[in-house]
Structure 1
Amino acid sequence: MSTASLVLAAVLSAPSFTATAAAATVPAVAADAFCDSIGVNIHVHYQGSVYDHATNLKAALQKLGVRHVRDGLVDSQWPTYFERLNDLGRSGIHCTVITGMPMARVLPLAAQAKEAIEAFEGPNEVNLNGWTVERAAQYQKDLWTTIRADAAWNQDPILCLSVTDYDYGARLGDLSAFADCGNIHPYPGGWEPENGSAWMKADLPTGLAGGRKITGSKPMMITETGYTTHRAKAGHVAVTPEMAGIYLPRMLLHTFASGVKRTFIYELFDLHDDPQDPEANFGLIRSDGVTFKPAGIAMGNLLTVLRDPGAPFAAAPLDVTLSEAQARSALFQKRDGVYYLVVWLPSNLWDQSRPYGQKQQSDPPDLPCTITFARAPKAVTGITGLDATLNEKVLVAAKTVSIVVSERVTVLRIVP
Structure 2
Amino acid sequence: MPVPERRLRVRRLLAISAVVGAAILPASAAHATPLASQPASSYRDSIGVQTHFPFPGFAYDKATTAELATMLRTLGITHLRDDTCFLAKEPDCARVRTRLAELRGAFGTSGPKVDLLALYSRELSSVPNRAVRDADIARALTAAASPPLAGMVAALEPVNEPDLKESTDWASATIADNDTYRRLMAQPQYASLRGLPHLSPAIGHAKNTALLLARGWNASRATIGNFHPYPPVWGTPEIALDTACGTGTALTCVRQLGASATPWATEVGYSTSGTGIATNWVSERAQAVYLPRLLLENFRRGVSRTYLYELLDLRQDFKPLIGSAVDGFGLYRSRVTTSGYYPAGPKPAALALSRMNTTIGDLGAGRAAAATLDVTVGNAGKVVDDSVVRRVLLRRADGSYVLALWQPKPVWRNTVWKQADLNVPELTAQVSITGGPWNATASRPTFGTATTGSWANAQQLTLPIGADVTLIDLQRVGGNEPGSAGGPRDPWAAAQAALAQAAWAWWTSLF
TM-score w.r.t. the length of structure 2 is: 0.72
**Partner residue of 1:268?**
311
Post-superposition offset of 1:99: 1.6
Change (3 A) 1:197 1:311: closer
Helix, strand or coil at the partner of 1:152: helix
Please tell me whether Structure 1 or Structure 2 has the larger radius of gyration of its CA atoms.
2
Amino acid corresponding to residue 177 of structure 1 in structure 2:
S
Change (3 A) 1:375 1:206: closer
Cα distance in 1 between the residues matched to 2:184 and 2:278:
38
- Kept in 2, the 8 Å contact 1:223–1:263? The answer is yes
Identity %: 27
Do residues 138 (structure 1) and 176 (structure 2) align? yes
**Partner residue of 1:190?**
234
**Partner residue of 2:13?**
none
After the TM superposition, which residues 13-162 of structure 1 pair with which residues of structure 2 at under 5 Å, given as runs?
Answer: 21-52=30-61, 53=63, 54-76=65-87, 77=90, 78=92, 79-91=94-106, 92-101=113-122, 102-110=136-144, 111-112=146-147, 113-131=149-167, 132-147=170-185, 150-162=190-202
Change (3 A) 1:304 1:141: farther
Post-superposition offset of 1:172: 1.7
Cα distance in 2 between the residues matched to 1:164 and 1:141:
21
Change (3 A) 1:89 1:141: farther
After the TM superposition, which residues 117-266 of structure 1 pair with which residues of structure 2 at under 5 Å, given as runs?
Answer: 117-131=153-167, 132-147=170-185, 150-173=190-213, 174-188=217-231, 189-195=233-239, 206-215=249-258, 218-235=261-278, 237-266=280-309
Helix, strand or coil at the partner of 1:304: helix
Change (3 A) 1:134 1:197: closer
Q: When the two structures are aligned, how many residues end up with a matched partner?
A: 394
- Kept in 1, the 8 Å contact 2:430–2:463? The answer is yes
Deviations along 1:379-402, whole A, 9 cap, x unmatched? 111122334334354224322211
Change (3 A) 1:317 1:107: same
Deviations along 1:175-232, whole A, 9 cap, x unmatched? 3111111111111243111136977x69xx8422442454476431111110011141
**Partner residue of 2:405?**
343
Amino acid corresponding to residue 355 of structure 2 in structure 1:
N
Post-superposition offset of 1:128: 2.3
**Partner residue of 2:331?**
284
Change (3 A) 1:185 1:179: same
Cα distance in 2 between the residues matched to 1:118 and 1:409:
30
After the TM superposition, which residues 343-362 of structure 1 pair with which residues of structure 2 at under 5 Å, given as runs?
Answer: 343-351=405-413, 355-362=415-422
Cα distance in 2 between the residues matched to 1:83 and 1:20:
57
Greater helix percent: which structure? 2
**Partner residue of 1:5?**
none
Cα distance in 1 between the residues matched to 2:433 and 2:68:
44
- Kept in 2, the 8 Å contact 1:88–1:116? The answer is no
Deviations along 1:93-150, whole A, 9 cap, x unmatched? 1010112152321322212411321110011111223442211112123324433653
**Partner residue of 1:331?**
393
Amino acid corresponding to residue 385 of structure 1 in structure 2:
P
User: For 2:458, which of 393, 398, 401 is the aligned residue?
Assistant: 398
Change (3 A) 1:163 1:234: farther
Cα distance in 2 between the residues matched to 1:390 and 1:41:
30
Helix, strand or coil at the partner of 1:408: coil
Change (3 A) 1:103 1:233: same
Change (3 A) 1:33 1:287: same
Helix, strand or coil at the partner of 2:140: helix
- Kept in 1, the 8 Å contact 2:394–2:403? The answer is yes
Helix, strand or coil at the partner of 1:89: coil
Change (3 A) 1:19 1:172: farther
Change (3 A) 1:217 1:337: closer
After the TM superposition, which residues 3-22 of structure 1 pair with which residues of structure 2 at under 5 Å, given as runs?
Answer: 21-22=30-31
Unaligned runs of 5+ in 2: 1-26, 107-112, 123-135, 336-342, 379-383, 477-511
Cα distance in 2 between the residues matched to 1:340 and 1:393:
14
TM-score w.r.t. the length of structure 1 is: 0.87
- Kept in 1, the 8 Å contact 2:229–2:240? The answer is no
**Partner residue of 2:377?**
322
**Partner residue of 1:13?**
none
Cα distance in 2 between the residues matched to 1:81 and 1:249:
30
Which segment is superposed worse, 88-97 or 101-110? 101-110
Post-superposition offset of 1:265: 0.4
Change (3 A) 1:137 1:186: same
Post-superposition offset of 1:69: 0.7
Amino acid corresponding to residue 206 of structure 2 in structure 1:
Y
Change (3 A) 1:197 1:351: farther
Change (3 A) 1:165 1:385: closer
Cα distance in 2 between the residues matched to 1:255 and 1:380:
26
Cα distance in 2 between the residues matched to 1:299 and 1:176:
33
- Kept in 2, the 8 Å contact 1:124–1:162? The answer is yes
Instruction: State the structure with bigger RCO (CA 8 A, min sep 6), 1 or 2.
Output: 1
- Kept in 2, the 8 Å contact 1:222–1:263? The answer is yes
Post-superposition offset of 1:279: 1.1
Cα distance in 1 between the residues matched to 2:201 and 2:228:
11
Post-superposition offset of 1:251: 0.5
Cα distance in 2 between the residues matched to 1:229 and 1:152:
40
Post-superposition offset of 1:167: 4.2
**Partner residue of 1:8?**
none
